[in-house]
Amino acid sequence: MSDILAIDAAALRSTGSTGFGIVETGFVPKSFARLLAEKLSTARVVFGDDIDLTSGSVLRKVLELTALEDARLWAAVGAVYDNGYVVSASGDALDRLGEDLGVDRPYLTAHGTIRLKLRAALPTGYPQLVLPRGARLSTAGGHHVALDETVVLTEAVPVRDPAVVAFFPGPSHNLDPSQPNQKIDRWNRADAALDGLDAAEQAAGEELIEIVHTAALTGGELQVADDRYRQLLLAVPRSIWTAEAIGMAVGTVPGVRQVQVFDGRGGLDINQSIFGNFNFIERVFASERDLGNPYYFTVLVAPTAAAIWDGPDGLQAAIETVIEDLRPIGIFASVEKAEEIGIGVEAELVVRGLPLPTGSKETINASTAAAELRSRLHGRLRRYVDELPFGEPVRVAEVVWTLMNEPGVADVRNLRLVRFPADAASITTATAPTGNGVQRLPVGENAVLAANQIPGYVDRDDPRPFVII
């Protein structure tokens, strides 16, 4: 036994193999190279320094094979250790940890396409029909889907094949048009985004758009990736009545884009103008509570483009139902809808390496390749703008960086942001952004938002927001 211990000590001294296994930062497995070095060191101690350990020797091959098996064992032990913690677990192990916390891995929403066709000529005063991204459709079976892009129908372009996304996640919304109750064939008339369509149809005296659904939606059976699921589990509060618990519950309601919970009496209200400007002995942080009034906390919600806020089946009612099971007796929630500020982008682009046609600037910008480029840029900007939190400004520098990440875009010039009011879908964009509240900011100026405002990207293509020069 003493000889074995002496060999182990010698190997540790000669290879510097301390710092592996369970350490302060987690579990550190030994690599194949480290294990082989230890075995070679041990062999020299046992057989002497003159032993043949070159790459062609039999003993070295045996040591390499055993080191490989040991490396696999270390990796397996490391995986077992890592899978015991949310911060490092993956796959099925992360699912099991989520089940312990009471949060199953969420499903994704199904996606697909439909066809929209004009049935008849547009009535006088309606040169085009604009169906904004998020406009809701439904099926006879009560399934809900929404447009995933803005659609403009004119008599010159009477047919479009827009992308659609299911409103509720899960495989139940892999809608198959061969099933009568799953065929997307009607608009959800409770959606305010369809007011323009309703007005045009009333003027025409008939329905103007035919909905054709021929291909099934797919992807609802998939679940979110490990990284997104891990973020969700790390945010799970370990208590019931906290602002974090309310935010977690509301954030999982379909149709909620972002949520923020304000509980002024539950902590220091550093947003008050008097904070930091008075003596602690003389003043309190907030006004004293009126004991004759109930205690309210505020839940500020930014809905998705497809969410319908009002009504018995609306998003506000769904949020209040979720909160009802969490709030203490006598404490009530004031659910408020955030003010969404539409943000559009205008810029001149220098493009290289893309298969654009030759000819005038108008010919190039009207080409299919240019339209596909604009569509990809819309997707990038939508991901950036729609993920900004409440009150966060839309920065021109970040918009330029987002556009420059698209392959083929060599330069961005004269970029300006356009602020739209909340009802951006009703804005006429025939020649330039117009309407109440529309503001074309100076070139290079950021769009600054208030604390209860949140930006939403407006993917208009008329007029063209990106001009290739």
Q: d(Cα 107, Cα 219) in Å, to the nearest integer?
A: 9
Count the residues in the chain. Answer: 469
Of residues 301 and 333, the one with the higher pLDDT is 301
Bridging pattern class, strands 339-351 and 151-153: unpaired
- How many other C-beta atoms are found inside a 10 Å radius of the C-beta of residue 468? 19
pLDDT of 15 higher than 70: no
Tell me the percentage of the chain whose pLDDT exceeds 90: 30
* Phi, psi dihedral angles at 224 (to 5 degrees): -65, 155
Helices (DSSP H) in 235-337: which residue ranges?
243-251, 315-324
Q: d(Cα 260, Cα 44) in Å, to the nearest integer?
A: 64
SS3 track for the chain: CHHHHHHHHHHHHHHCCCCCEEECCEEECCCHHHHHHHHHHHHHHHHCCCCCCCCCCHHHHHHHHHHHHHHHHHHHHHHHHHCCCCCCCCHHHHHHHHHHHCCCCCECCCEEECEEEECCCCCCCCCCEEECCCCEEEECCCCEEEECCCEEECCCCCEECCEEEECCCCHHHCCCCCCHHHCEEEECCCCHHHHHHHHHHHHHCCCCEEEECCCCCECCCCECCHHHHHHHHHCCCCCCCCHHHHHHHHHCCCCEEEEEEECHHHCCCCCCCCCCCCCCCCCCCCCCCCCCCCEEEEEEEEECCCCCCCCCCCHHHHHHHHHHCCCCCCEEEEEEECEEEEEEEEEEEEECCCCCCCCCHHHHHCCHHHHHHHHHHHHHHHHHHHCCCCCCCECHHHHHHHHHCCCCEEEEEEEEEEEECCCHHHCCCCCCCCCCCCEECCCCCCECCCCCEEEEECCCCCCCCEEEC
Q: Most distant CA pair in the chain: distance in Å? A: 100
Q: What does the pLDDT average to over 142-161?
A: 90
Tell me the percentage of the chain whose pLDDT exceeds 70: 84
Closest CA to 426 of 200, 201, 195: 195
In the 8-state DSSP scheme, what is residue 223? B
> Positive or negative CA dihedral for 417, 418, 424, 428?
negative
Residues 19-50 have pLDDT tens digits of: 777 777 677 888 888 888 888 888 888 888 88
Look at phi and psi of residue 346 and say left if phi exceeds 0, alpha if psi is from -120 to 50, else beta.
beta
Q: Is 11:38 a contact under the CB 8 Å cutoff?
A: yes
* Phi, psi dihedral angles at 199 (to 5 degrees): -65, -40
Residues 103-133 have pLDDT tens digits of: 889 999 999 999 999 988 888 888 888 898 8
Q: d(Cα 290, Cα 252) in Å, to the nearest integer?
A: 33
Bridging pattern class, strands 151-153 and 184-187: unpaired
Q: d(Cα 468, Cα 413) in Å, to the nearest integer?
A: 10
Query: Tell me, what's the pLDDT at 270?
Result: 46
Q: Is 461:377 a contact under the CB 8 Å cutoff?
A: no
Residues 340-379 have pLDDT tens digits of: 899 999 999 998 888 888 888 888 888 888 888 988 999 8
- Calculate the alpha carbon distances from 191 to 133, 198, 364, 407 in Å: 12, 10, 37, 37
Q: In what order do the strands lie in the sheet with 256-262?
A: 256-262, 295-303, 331-337
Model confidence at 288, pLDDT cuts 50, 70, 90, reads low
Query: Tell me, what's the pLDDT at 438?
Result: 79
Query: Tell me, what's the pLDDT at 49?
Result: 82
Number of helical H runs and strand E runs in the chain: 11, 20
Residues 404-438 have pLDDT tens digits of: 999 989 999 999 999 987 544 444 433 344 455 67
Residues 72-82 have pLDDT tens digits of: 998 888 888 87
Q: d(Cα 145, Cα 217) in Å, to the nearest integer?
A: 10
Model confidence at 92, pLDDT cuts 50, 70, 90, reads confident
Model confidence at 266, pLDDT cuts 50, 70, 90, reads very low
Q: Is 125 exposed, middle or buried (0-12, 13-18, 19+ CB in 10 A)?
A: exposed
Q: d(Cα 420, Cα 460) in Å, to the nearest integer?
A: 11
Q: d(Cα 446, Cα 429) in Å, to the nearest integer?
A: 22
Compute and round to an integer the Cα radius of gyration of the chain.
30
Average pLDDT score, the chain: 82
- How many other C-beta atoms are found inside a 10 Å radius of the C-beta of residue 415? 19
Model confidence at 463, pLDDT cuts 50, 70, 90, reads low
Query: Tell me, what's the pLDDT at 272?
Result: 52
Residues 171-216 have pLDDT tens digits of: 999 999 999 899 999 999 888 889 889 999 999 888 899 999 999 9
Query: Tell me, what's the pLDDT at 426?
Result: 40
Query: Tell me, what's the pLDDT at 293?
Result: 59
Q: Helix (H, G, I), strand (E, B), or coil: what is residue 74?
A: helix
Q: d(Cα 325, Cα 327) in Å, to the nearest integer?
A: 6
Query: Tell me, what's the pLDDT at 210?
Result: 92
Model confidence at 269, pLDDT cuts 50, 70, 90, reads very low
